[in-house]
């Protein structure tokens, strides 16, 4: 099971990555993540909505309403140019973090 602290700071990367492929909406995003984690991580609605709004407020995401489907109109989110750029930054940071943790977690020396 993946805890909140373990995933913290990487959710933005996950969201940005998913949205790189295609626009999506909050509910679908949560399902995508839950499905993709094979039951090891269940993202909370609050966490997700907070995250997308944060990303949007940072100019990394654009949103638009989809009125074509029946039911309540969905708010779709898509990457902005800045979001794409930030995705690169986040990916680089992830690689660094992964390398650092791996270096110690494996019990290897730093030499």
Q: Which residues bind DNA (CB under 7 A)?
A: 3-5, 7-12, 25-28, 43-47, 49-51, 53-54, 69-75
Q: With respect to a copy of itself, which residue has the nearer C-beta, 38 or 72?
A: 38
For 110, phi then psi, to 5°, come to: -95, 0
Q: Is 84 in the site for a copy of itself (CB under 8 A)?
A: no
47 binds, among a copy of itself, DNA, none (CB under 5 to 8 A by kind): DNA
> Residue 103 and residue 111: Cα distance in Å, rounded?
10
36 binds, among a copy of itself, DNA, none (CB under 5 to 8 A by kind): a copy of itself
In DSSP terms, 61 is beta-bridged to 79
Please answer whether residues 28 and 38 qualify as being in contact, where contact means their C-beta atoms are separated by less than 8 angstroms.
no
**For 73, which DSSP code?**
P
Could you say which residues in the range 6-45 bind a copy of itself, by CB under 8 A?
6-10, 13-14, 17-18, 20-21, 32-33, 35-37, 40-41
> Residue 109 and residue 111: Cα distance in Å, rounded?
5
Q: What is the DSSP string of 27-50?
A: HHHHHHHHHHTTTS----HHHHHH
Contact set with a copy of itself (CB under 8 A): 1-10, 13-14, 17-18, 20-21, 32-33, 35-37, 40-41, 90-91, 93-94, 96-98, 100-107, 110
């Amino acid at each position: 099971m993946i805890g909140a602290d373990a995933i913290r700071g990487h959710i933005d990367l996950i969201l940005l990555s998913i949205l790189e492929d295609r626009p999506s909406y909050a509910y679908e995003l949560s399902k995508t993540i839950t499905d993709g984690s094979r039951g090891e991580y269940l993202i909370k609605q609050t966490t997700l909505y907070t995250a997308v709004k944060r990303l949007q407020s940072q100019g990394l995401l654009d949103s638009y309403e989809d009125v074509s489907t029946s039911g309540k109109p969905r708010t779709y989110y898509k990457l902005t140019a800045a979001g794409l750029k930030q995705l690169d930054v986040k990916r680089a940071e992830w690689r660094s973090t992964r390398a650092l943790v791996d270096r110690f977690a494996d019990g290897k020396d730093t030499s």
